[in-house]
Amino acid sequence: MTNEDTGIFQNVLDRLELTQKYLNLPEAVYNRLQSPARSLIVTVPVEMTDCSVKTFTGYRVQYNTARGPTKGGIRYHPGLTLDQTTAYAALMTWKCGVVNLPFGGAKGGVACDTTKLNLREIKSLTRRFTYELSPIIGPDMDILAPDMYTDESTMAWMMDTYSMIKGYSIPGVVTGKPVSVGGTVGRTNATANGVFLCIQNALKELNCNIEGLSVNILGFGKVGSGVAHFMDEAGCLITGIADSKSAIYNKNGIDLVKARIYKKEAGSFKGFPEADNLSIDELLATEVDVLVPAAISSQLNENNAGSIRAKLIVEGANDPTTPAADEILKDKGVFIVPDILANAGGVIVSYFEWVQNFQRYSWNIDEVYDELKKKLCGAFEEVLETSKKTGCDMRTAAMIVGVGRVGKAGAMRGLYP
């Protein structure tokens, strides 16, 4: 990595260092947690529609295998770097530890802009990228999942490509697949569902009734739009919404049906007639009960954290709050449910899908939801109890739980040879 490319992962290491002050892991174990087990960079040549060949760069980082095979998403984004991929792989490692799944963390993707590729080109890119990853992935090694700008179709292509290489169907190599090829019911909204469960648990701790609360949501993809739906159904006012191009605000509440239709037709929320058009920072500065950052990393930072007037922040995105913003928000008394707990619903239901693939037995939606609720609410209570016991904030408490489990597993297994 270059010096210019170490910012996001350095944030992860800074938080790991703070966590070590509470855990006091053996030096050898702690040192091992500061680096990924494996980092792979591949070139992905793709024949374009015009018969030219364009080469993309792909990444896969498997951070830690002490608790089991690695697990993590695949994202397609033009700004993807090795540093980002490493950071997200580390966060996934701690996340699996927090909710006590038998996985290590991984992350991967291709640096590309899918808006400039047609369906055939995206499919070709996906299949070639899967081929390049095939020596190091598998249901017992490293399990892939959808992330930013990838979806269940991407996972179906990846599963099919890997199965063709091996010569027989291996559905467990990916999760987040269509139900028709071994996916699970309940996976599509699992992350948003988990965020909503964490909001409910946090409000219970804060002695707040959910009905009538105001909510601002940054990012309106699968997670943000799903959380908006759940909160709207619970009787909340969705007062602010932002996507990558615009932000809108109405203190009396936004009609989600009309807003979705407008965005689909216009391409963004910009100009939506039933709300004020604001910048992202202006939206962050509005007074609101619950803020859900569900977009990109470092969106809450030292430049805007001081103006945030939310009482509760529940992180739907990966690493949306910088350490500097954390300190500012902590001083302001904001209750934050961190990403490695709040958005763990996706990996929990992915685990259920993986288990079903091994069993060749499908669960129904009630089983999936009940087990998700049991797993996530149990993790929330454990993190909350750790926070109260140590006197630290919820993010540090989640790190103590997650990193503690990973560190203990590494210490018990020792070194080979």
Give the Å distances, CA to CA, from 180 to 81, 176, 341, 347, 351.
33, 11, 30, 20, 18
Give the Å distances, CA to CA, from 374 to 224, 345, 357.
23, 11, 21
Partner residues linked to 41 by β-bridges? 59
Q: Which residues form the catalytic set?
A: 107
Rg (CA), the chain: 21
Ramachandran bin of 124, using left for φ above 0, alpha for ψ from -120 to 50, beta for the remaining angles: alpha
C-beta separation of 350 from 145 below 8 A = yes
Helices and strands (DSSP H and E) totals, the chain: 14, 12
**How many of the other CB atoms lie within 10 Å of CB of 277?**
15
- Residues in Cβ contact with 287 at an 8 Å cutoff, skipping those fewer than 6 apart: 214, 309
Looking up tokens 């919404």, which residue turns up? 241
User: Counting Cβ atoms within 10 Å, is residue 414 exposed (0-12), middle (13-18) or buried (19+)?
Assistant: exposed
* Rounded Cα–Cα distance for residues 245 and 269 (Å): 8
**Complete DSSP assignment for 300-335:** B-TTTGGG-EEEEEE--SSS-B-HHHHHHHHHTT-E
What single letter denotes the amino acid at residue 177?
Answer: K
